[in-house]
Amino acid sequence: MTSYQSVMARKNEIMKKAVGIDYDRFEVEGCAFDYERMMREVGYSLDEIKTIQRATRVGQTPLIELRNINRLIQQISPSGKGGRIFLKDEAVNPSGSFKDRRASVSVYQAAKMGYKGVIAATSGNYGAAVASQAAKFGLKCIIVQETFDSRFVGQPEIVEKARACEAYGAEVVQLSVGPELFYYFLVLLEETQYFNASLYTPFGIAGIETLGSEIGEQMKTLTGDYPDYVVVTHAGGGNLTGTARGLKRVGAQRTKFIAASVDLRTLHMASDIDFNRKSFTTGHTGFGIPFAVFPDRSDVPRNAARPLRYMDRYLTITQGEVFYTTEMLAQLEGLQRGPAGNTSLCAAIALARKVPSGTTLVVQETEYTGAGKCPTAQLTFAKSNGIEVSYGHRTDSVPGKNILIPRSPEELGYDEADMDALRASYIKQVIKQYQKTRFSETEKAFLQEDCRIDRPTLEHLIEKD
């Protein structure tokens, strides 16, 4: 009964047992489900989450004004322009990233429900976070990674994260790129009866809400007001969703939420050939766009990360610009941090040059760095895979062929993703998944909320497809 077909046929049953959530309770009609009820009834209050996180020393991280970078921004911005950037230093969390916030609530829930262990499918920082929290609660932990191409060559950043997971006592299962990841993940869940510490449950998203609330409270103390912009590295959508929900909870209603991803749109994330032709394992469009336009593609029936509900703009940058920004942060601010948070920092620097002086921007995360995360490791790996690494302008960047490092901070920029196109793609995916073009009033109300669009726009998008 472990054939691919039989396991996939049981996936909903396996997942239900592994997360302890009856998602059917929140289904309303057709494509519609009660998102806020799911978050309210399955999750925890903000005060409860703070208590859970304090017990394992998660959260309450510093918010730092990047004074040297801000002086540089003032020097290279047009007259009257130049925002102030603040950085939420999440690298000081136990395992070195904001993912500790997600893991803390999930692992707490697993222990509370009597599970003997936890499993997470992730090639990113989340694995180390789950392993760290599992160690604190005395639970077993298995991390399943998509690590290798068909030559058994692994990404240095993923291998680095495997070492971190193992250091916390987790068992790491490393697989090659392709559909086997989800299959083997399901097999392990069924065989071990462990808790699925998914990135996309209400527990994981609720854990990030404290990040948003802390930003709001700290900015009020530092500047007297909530931030004008919060720039978030966007991949699966949980980071943006949780941060936005937390900020809104403490009253930041006018803050704009900017998603930022490395543009890898010409590379296919499930391709064996393309797998090692990228130098970023997360925070790129290979996750950012699919999860924005089809959030329920995740490993749970209903994804608690719904980025289009909160995303005001979506900016894309290049790999070379992130490497440049990583060096800038280290050499101007004395902060050596990994590439994920520097993706949003890169976009924030370019954006800060275009907004009025005094505008406040918060880059809401940093991550730890290490041997496999440093620019030298990533660029050396890129060269070994035939990628040209040189100085050049962002407009000449071709993912999978070259990595172009800017020559000066003035060359940092961004491309603006078409939010209307993303919403149109979301509606197209709903039509495809539910095989229908006629929706009830209840379904339409849900789609409006999930896409943040008015009724005439929704009707136009439905008719268009």
Alpha-carbon distance of 138 to 71, in angstroms, equals 47
Averaged pLDDT for residues 249-264: 97
How far the first Cα of the chain sits from its last, in Å, is 40
Of 59-68, 148-157, 348-357, the range with the lowest mean pLDDT is 148-157
Q: Return the higher-pLDDT residue of 268 and 360.
A: 360
Cα 307 to its chain centre, rounded Å, is: 10
Q: 36: burial class by Cβ within 10 Å (0-12, 13-18, 19+)? A: exposed
Q: 397: burial class by Cβ within 10 Å (0-12, 13-18, 19+)? A: middle
Rounded to two decimals, the pTM is 0.96
- DSSP letter at 78 equals P
pLDDT at 271: 87
**pLDDT 10s digits, 96-106:** 999 999 999 99
Would you state the structure tokens that stand for residue 80, as one six-digit string?
């009257």
Output the average pLDDT for the chain. 95
Q: What are the C-alpha distances in Å from 399 to residues 41, 262, 387?
A: 43, 10, 9
Selection from 127, 58, 138 nearest residue 91 by Cα: 58
Q: Assign a CATH topology to domain 57-94+203-416.
A: Rossmann fold (3.40.50)
Count, residues in the chain: 465
Q: Is the pLDDT of residue 465 over 80?
A: no
**What is the chain's alpha carbon radius of gyration, rounded to the nearest angstrom?**
21
> In the 3-class helix/strand/coil scheme, how is 109-121 assigned residue by residue?
HHHHCCCCEEEEE
Residues 6+ apart with CB under 8 A from 191: none
**pLDDT 10s digits, 306-318:** 999 999 999 999 9
227 and 252 Cβ atoms separated by less than 8 Å: yes
Averaged pLDDT for residues 20-48: 93
Domain covering 4-52+97-201 in this structure, CATH number: 3.40.50.1100
> If pLDDT is split at 50, 70 and 90, which confidence band does 12 have?
confident
Alpha-carbon distance of 119 to 107, in angstroms, equals 10
Averaged pLDDT for residues 242-264: 97
Indicate the pairing of strand 32-33 with strand 27-29. Answer: antiparallel
> If pLDDT is split at 50, 70 and 90, which confidence band does 174 have?
very high
Alpha helices in 224-305 (DSSP H): 238-249, 285-293
Domain layout of the chain by residue ranges:
4-52+97-201, 57-94+203-416, 419-464
Q: Is the pLDDT of residue 380 over 90?
A: yes
Alpha helices in 353-451 (DSSP H): 375-384, 419-434, 441-451
Say how many C-beta atoms besides its own lie within 10 A of residue 235's C-beta.
Answer: 29
Cross-strand partners of 262: 284, 317
pLDDT at 169: 97
Which residue type sits at 100? D
> If pLDDT is split at 50, 70 and 90, which confidence band does 30 have?
very high
Cross-strand partners of 65: 86
CA dihedral 262, 268, 270, 275 (to 10 degrees): -70
**pLDDT 10s digits, 189-219:** 999 999 999 999 999 999 999 999 999 999 9
Q: 150: burial class by Cβ within 10 Å (0-12, 13-18, 19+)? A: exposed
